[in-house]
Amino acid sequence: MPKFDVTLYIAQLSIDCVVFGYEDGEIKVLLSKPSYLQDFWSLPGGYVLKTEGTDQAACRILTERTGLENIFLDQFRVFGSEGRVVGSEQVDQIKAGLIALNPEMYDEEIVSWMAERFVSIGYYALVDIKKCEAQNRNVGGSTDLVFIGTGTEADL
C-alpha cells in the first residue's frame, strides 16, 4: 500500500458518519474498531479531498465503508471543540499503532498530521444492513467494521 499522502486532503477537516440500519427488530449502528487499539471504538469516517465538497466526501467515505451507493445521507452537526482529540490519552496509542501497523504507509509526520485537532462534520445515513458489506479501506485493513445493536455486548 502506498504512503498516505496528506497533501491530497484539506488539513484538519474530517467526516464522521453515523450509519444506522435495522435488523432483527432493532436499530443498529456501524462502528469501527482498530485492531491496534484496545477498548476503542469510533464512527467510520475519513478525510475530505481538496478536489471534493463535504457532501461528496461523505458519499465517497460511506461507499468505501459499506459498498453501497446512493445512500440516504444528511449532515447533522459540526464537532469542533478545542479539546477534541488533542491531549487525549489515545493520541499516543494511535500514533504508535499506525506506525507499527504499516511503517511504509505511516511515518511520524503523517501520524502527527492525523493526531492534530480536527473539525469534523457529522453525517447520518440510513442503510439496508442486508445489502451492506462493511469494508475497511483505511489504515491498511486494520479496522473491523461491525453493526452494534442494543442487544450486543461490546466494550463501548
CATH match for 8-86+118-149 among 3.90.79.10, 3.30.460.10, 3.40.50.2300, 3.20.20.70:
3.90.79.10
Q: Tell me the per-residue pLDDT of 23-66, one tens digit each, with 9 for 90 and over.
A: 888 888 888 877 777 777 888 899 999 999 999 999 999 898 88
Cβ atoms within 10 Å, residue 147: 19
Average pLDDT, the chain: 82
Q: Tell me the per-residue pLDDT of 125-139, one tens digit each, with 9 for 90 and over.
A: 988 888 887 665 555
pTM across the whole model: 0.81
- Please give the share of the chain, as a percent, with pLDDT higher than 70: 83
Q: Tell me the per-residue pLDDT of 75-112, one tens digit each, with 9 for 90 and over.
A: 999 998 877 666 677 788 888 888 888 888 888 899 88
Residue 45's closest CA among 96, 84, 82, 83?
A: 84
Cβ atoms within 10 Å, residue 7: 7
- Please give the pLDDT value at position 136: 59
